[in-house]
Structure 1
Amino acid sequence: MKKLKTQVGIIGAGPAGLTLAHWLKSHGISSVILEHRSRAYVEARVRAGLLEQNTVDILKQLNLADRLEQEGHLHEGVYLSFDGERVRVPFGELTGGRNITIYGQQEVVKDLTDAWYASGQTLLFEAPAVKIENIDSESPQIHFTHQGEDGIIECDFVAACDGFHGIGRKTLPKESYNEFEVSYPFFWLGILANVAPSTDELIYAYHQNGFALHSLRSESVSRLYLQVPNDEDLNNWPDQRIWEELAIRLGTQGWKLQPGPIFEKSITPMRSYFIDNMQHGRLFLAGDAAHIVPPTGGKGLNLAIADIKHLVDGFVGFYRNNSIGQLEQYSINALKRIWRAQDFSNFMTTLFHKQDEHGSFQYQLQKAKFDYIKTSKAYATTIAENYVGLPFEAFEA
């Protein structure tokens, strides 16, 4: 049996687990990472692409942003459209210089994995965690398998950054948390296309046919989405129909959508989920293991990194100052931002998705909000502040 010993055992080699490992290392705290998928799978998995100001600042602080700074696309605003009328919310102008950067999650994972291996640290791919034991003691253990051999990580703490279906949340005592969940009555049909973006910044659009979003991944790859029924079949959407519908929903005077070869299609459920306690004993959850947000606000990856900030504060307090105080407050501190992110994600989702008949009471409420964005700097500032990510001090008591 393979036995490993470290201070923090980390389950999951996504952005949360990798950032935690690097951040702990910068404070002289050791960790070992387990990832149940292969390296090729994880690094090819296309997920989020929007990095908040906080996330970029953290990666720069950890000296992990070289390629991000070279290849990432700084966005200083966002376009919001309603019935073909488009306005721009200028982020930096309204937030004192805070913006977003477009850089794919899989690229973040590649950068952090390369740097972790380059520093001689331990990360085991295709090593599923099968059991977490003794979380109520000072010596928890993670049981795993790797290359056909059973293994154990002996550690002081366990950080489960292992996603919604991971073993982390399943190990928390059921009576230790409450669950909150909302499922929206529509899905996203998403595409990746080998075509230069038709916009310099993201476009969110309400249309009587439904919501559309023009995002981007690089100078040559575009990411776009359409609102579809939650029982939709991808076979109903050949490439030509997708491009025609995107052009209709995103359309505005003087602007044209450029189609191109689609190399990936997917259907994404729209839901909110989280638990109100992210820890028990020596086990701590972060990222999708504890919360899911609809992708409309671009909060998923960034919320995970925010969790890690609070977790690092707690571990540093423990190892440097022999204090458990910040670790005991981890859930309380993280949930302040989680609630804010859930509210903003819900706001953006309900504002731009068709929820009732065009012209209905619900529609008029959505239009009134959009009209207010056009006329109120305060309202636009609220959107900008939340979109780029509120600074950590905004949540300090």
Structure 2
Amino acid sequence: MRTQVGIVGAGPAGLLLGHLLHLAGIESVVLENRSRTHVEERIRAGLLEQGTVEVLTEAGVAERLHREAMVHEGLELRFDGQSHRIPLTGLTGKRVTIYGQQEVVKDLIAVRLGAGAPLLFEVDRVALHDLETDAPSISFVHEGIAQRLHCDVIAGCDGFHGICRDSIPAGVLRAYERVYPFAWLGILAAAPPASHELIYARHERGFALATMRSPTLSRLYIQCRPEEDLTQWSDDRIWAELHARLAHRDHGSPVKEGPILQRGVTTMRSFVVEPMRFGRLFLAGDAAHIVPPTGAKGMNLAIADIRVLAQALEAFYRGRGTALLEAYSGRALARVWKAQRFSWWMTSLLHRFDGDDLFEHKLRLAELDYVCNSAAGAMTLAENYVGLPLAPG
């Protein structure tokens, strides 16, 4: 097989890159080790920055998004039993959008298959070769047949546990990591959302978050231990903890109960590798960086990476040289580290750490009070939450 760009991974990053290249007349093949059903049904983050929505709109894959998504113009911080709204749109002129990552994936798969562009699911034994040459290749097995894909460039969009980053020789990448001493116990419930906007709560028992997937589906989280045993969490215990942590001092709990459809524990880490490139292999999204979910930056960072990479590849194939390819890692990492800083800040502000004493707790409450009652503090949160500007084209 022969193509111009080989893409490993059919998540939002790999699929969007394939689509943007298709629009530019550049050939690509997307390889995915999971089934189409698995990729389309795995539940992931669902908050899109305005810049992400604009990228998807310009790419022509946001028709259903604009029809079905829930647009938010603010968020609520709840601490010390009181609520404080941050008017995101009033402060920045921008909004955020609730639209599940799996829905973005469905839209991108549909448009790629509709265009007849190559997308292979359930690919096995993937390996990368000759990355330091101008003729790299990908070997794999599909439907029992061993194949090799020859290409000019490989895009590693296969996530944190994928093979692309591990294909880079030891000592080339610098890895930066922080593992947090807590996790999120998350549920998806067939119940109306607790509020029409997200509620982030700091409570003496730990963090809680009330968000949603639709007007009839709620997504709720509580801080827990990384080694939490889900068998010890009955439905009644989960709901009791959510009511306690999200309660308003005067109005009680806004949480609405319903059948729990899914539950799981999400560990928390910050991770970045530099550079995001080795030879003709370019890493994007979770293959290169992970953020704790508190700031809702994971998929948004992946989309931002892909926009930069697609611009660089288009310039390369239009005969404008390799300058943008050479600059890809630096351009992407400038935004990645700002998102890491914000995600770390939000996580530190809202969670209880092992060993925190009353002094630390009071400091966090004072900082939250400053954020909510200072124009500068509220603007800092708002402009980071709705998304910092994308790298110029």
- Interval containing the TM-score (normalised by the shorter chain): over 0.9
- Letter of the aligned partner of 1:55 in structure 2? T
Amino acid aligned to 2:140: F
Partner of 2:216: 220
Structure 1 residue 354 displacement after superposition: 1.3
Q: What's the CA shift string for 1:76-129, capped at 9, x where partnerless?
A: 11101112111011111111x211100001111011001100011110000135
Identity rate, percent: 51
Where 1:200 maps in the other structure, the secondary structure is: coil
Deviation per CA, 1:285-326, whole angstroms, max 9, x where unpaired?
001111111100001111111110110121011111331011
Helix, strand or coil for the counterpart of 2:342?
A: helix
Cα deviation for residue 227 of structure 1 reads 0.3
Residue 346 of structure 2, aligned match among 337, 345, 348: 348
Q: Take 1:99 and 1:110, find their aligned partners in 2: how far apart are those partners?
A: 23
Q: Which residue of 2 aligns with 1:85?
A: 82
Shift of 1:277: 0.9
- Please tell me the residue identity of whatever aligns with 2:56: L
Matched, 1:267 2:253: no
Q: Is residue 23 of structure 1 aligned with residue 20 of structure 2?
A: yes
**AA aligned opposite 1:380:** A
List aligned pairs for 1:28-107, cutoff 5 A. 28-95=25-92, 97-107=93-103
Q: Are the structure 2 counterparts of residues 129 and 392 from structure 1 closer, same or farther at C-alpha, using a change threshold of 3 Å?
A: farther
Superposed CA offset, 1:29-65 (max 9, x none)? 1111000000000111001111111110011001100
- Superposed CA RMSD: 1.3
Q: Would you say 1:331 and 2:329 are equivalent positions?
A: yes
Aligned residues: 391
**1:371 is aligned with what amino acid?**
D
Aligned partner letter, 2:46: G
TM-score by length of 2: 0.97
Residue 163 of structure 1 corresponds to: 159
Of 239, 245, 250, the match for 2:241: 245
Checking the alignment, whether the CA contact within 8 Å between 2:136 and 2:151 is kept in structure 1 is: yes
1-structure distance, mates of 2:118, 2:350: 44
Q: Match of 2:190?
A: 194
Residue 319 of structure 1 corresponds to 317
Cα distance in 2 for partners of 1:281, 1:75 equals 41
User: Structure 1: where are the runs of 5+ without partners?
Assistant: none
- Cα 1:129–1:93 shift into 2, 3 Å: farther
Work out the CA distance in 2 between the residues paired with 1:358 and 1:172. Answer: 39
1:355-370 equivalences under 5 Å are 355=353, 360-370=358-368
- Using the TM superposition, give the Cα deviation of residue 142 of structure 1 relative to its aligned residue in structure 2, in angstroms: 0.5
Deviation at 1:176, TM superposition (A): 1.4
CA drift at 1:254: 2.2
Give the direction of change, closer, same or farther, for the CA distance of 1:372–1:305 in structure 2 (3 Å limit): same
Q: CA 1:239 to 1:111, structure 2 compared with 1: closer, same or farther past 3 Å?
A: same
The verdict on how the C-alpha distance between 1:170 and 1:359 changes in structure 2, with shifts beyond 3 A counting, is closer
The answer to whether structure 1 residue 178 and structure 2 residue 180 are counterparts is no
Contact 1:208 1:358 in 2 (8 A): no
Name the residue aligned to 2:370.
Answer: 372
What stretches of structure 2 of length at least 5 have no aligned partner?
A: none
2:293 aligned to 295, 315, 322, which one? 295
Partner of 1:254: 251
Partner of 1:286: 284
8 Å CA contact 2:181–2:354 kept in 1: the answer is: no
Q: Determine the C-alpha separation between the residues in 2 that align with 1:224 and 1:378.
A: 29
In 2, Cα distance between equivalents of 1:62 and 1:332: 24
Matched, 1:235 2:231: yes
Q: Partner of 1:382 in structure 2? A: 380
Name the CA distance, whole Å, in 1 between partners of 2:327 and 2:35.
34
1:257 CA drift (Å): 1.6
SS of residue paired to 1:170 = helix
> Paired residue for 1:118, among 114, 118, 121?
114
Q: Using a 3 Å threshold, how does the CA distance of structure 1 residues 129 and 52 change in structure 2: closer, same or farther?
A: farther
CA distance in 2, matches of 1:167, 1:348: 31
Which one is further off, 167-176 or 118-127?
Answer: 167-176
**Displacement after TM superposition at 1:359 (Å):** 5.9
User: 4+ runs of 1 displaced by more than 3 Å?
Assistant: 356-359
